[in-house]
Amino acid sequence: MARLIPAGVRPWRGVVLGAAGLYFLVPLLAALVFTVDVPNQGFTLDSYTQIFSADGFTTALLLSLGLGLTTVALALLLTLPAALAVRLSGSGRLRAVLEVVCTLPLVVPPVALVAGIGTVLKWGPDHLASTPLYETFVAVQDPEFPIVLVLAYVVMALPFVYRSLEAGLRAVDVRTLVEAARDLGASWPRAIVSVVLPNLRTALLNASFLALALVLGEFTVAQLLGFQPFAVWIVQASGSNAQLSVAVSLLSLVLTWVLLLVLTAVFRTRAARSARAPRPAKNRSDKNKKEAGA
């Protein structure tokens, strides 16, 4: 790659890299120092050891992970079949409709969304107290696992999930692949599972990661509806113990990075397995020539 960059530009790469590194690393280092260097106590790792015994830490983390995974599953279950169906139908109008619907949540601020949800949730005690629907309203708001949050998160994740899937779908000719598979004896479901989904791997993983990251860091909706997933817990913990909350933030950052690295590593090995040799355009025409001469 280096030889593609003109020599005059090369020193600037270091400058840009250094500036970006400073921008990201200085706050992190400051946070780290803050957590390990307590006034009057000197160096201590107390903040980190405290995390695991802190009140509500495990519950909040597990709740966030649970919400995240459920959101991913539901969002994919909604968008994937829709996006595939629209592709296979070849209808440009349907595709435009789907695109608008899936992008719309992006322009609705979470605060507005939560205000609407709050209003609807109030109907429960106000109007439905005597109907069986009231039970549903209660169940949906179970603090152990608030389904209402999942519903809100699915809406919020929709643009990201849809965009990633679309990018993946653009790269493959879904229709021809399905037809080829059907011609070879695969039923419709079989064609989707054994031919389309494997080729959408990257897109599916990207979509999942974006949705998961969104849920793990979401504060506004959960806080305003009165639930306590991880992000809300961090803010509350910071009120009682500043060092502890910063330590948790750092840790969650590291966790997210690890998750990202693992996913990237998974792609790398996959890509390496299927692309041991790159194929620049020159190679291809050479191959063609060889074949023509054969």
Partner 1 sequence: MTITDAPARTGTALRIRGLRRTFGSAVALDGLDLDVAPGELLALLGPSGCGKTTALRVLAGFERPDSGQVLLDGEDIVPVPANRRDTGMVFQSYSLFPHLTAAENVAFGMRMRKVAAAERRTRAAELLELVGLPDHGGRYPHQLSGGQQQRVALARALALRPRLLLLDEPLSALDAQVRVNLREEIRRLQLELGITTVFVTHDQEEALSMADRVAVMRGGRLEQCATPAELYDRPATAFVASFIGTMNRIPGRLASDGQAEVLGVTLPVDGPAGGATAFLLRPEALDVTADGPDTVIGSSFHGASTRLRVRLADGTEVKADLPSHAAGAFGAGAAVTVRPQRRPVLVAGEEA
- Candidates 36, 186, 205, 251; binder of partner 1 (CB under 8 A) is 186
CA dihedral 44, 46, 47, 48 (to 10 degrees): 100
Is residue 230 packed enough to be buried (19+ CB in 10 Å), middle (13-18) or exposed (0-12)?
buried
- Candidates 6, 42, 185, 239; binder of partner 1 (CB under 8 A) is 185
Is residue 180 a contact residue for partner 1 (CB under 8 A)? yes
| Residue closer to partner 1 (CB basis): 74 or 169 | 169
The one-letter amino acid code at 225 reads: L
| Stretch near partner 1 under the rule CB under 8 A, chosen from 6-14, 28-36, 107-115, 196-204 | 196-204
Is residue 93 a contact residue for partner 1 (CB under 8 A)? no
Is residue 173 a contact residue for partner 1 (CB under 8 A)? yes
**Residue 38: helix, strand or coil by DSSP?**
strand
We find the least distance from the C-beta atom of residue 35 to partner 1, in angstroms, to be 45
We find the least distance from the C-beta atom of residue 83 to partner 1, in angstroms, to be 18
Residue 6 sits at φ, ψ, to 5 deg, of -60, 145
Q: How far apart are CA 250 and CA 252, in angstroms?
A: 5
Residue among 84, 97, 77, 73 at smallest CA distance from 166: 84
| Residue closer to partner 1 (CB basis): 202 or 241 | 202
We find the least distance from the C-beta atom of residue 293 to partner 1, in angstroms, to be 8
| Residue closer to partner 1 (CB basis): 132 or 189 | 189
We find the least distance from the C-beta atom of residue 179 to partner 1, in angstroms, to be 6
We find the least distance from the C-beta atom of residue 294 to partner 1, in angstroms, to be 7
**CA-CA distances (angstroms) from residue 247 to 48, 133, 174, 178, 244?**
6, 43, 46, 50, 5
DSSP secondary structure of 237-254: HHHH-HHHHHHHHHHHHH
We find the least distance from the C-beta atom of residue 103 to partner 1, in angstroms, to be 28
Backbone CA torsion sign across 220, 78, 80, 205 = positive
Residues making contact with partner 1 (CB under 8 A) = 172-173, 176-177, 179-187, 190-191, 195, 198-199, 201, 274-277, 279, 284-285, 287-289, 291-292, 294
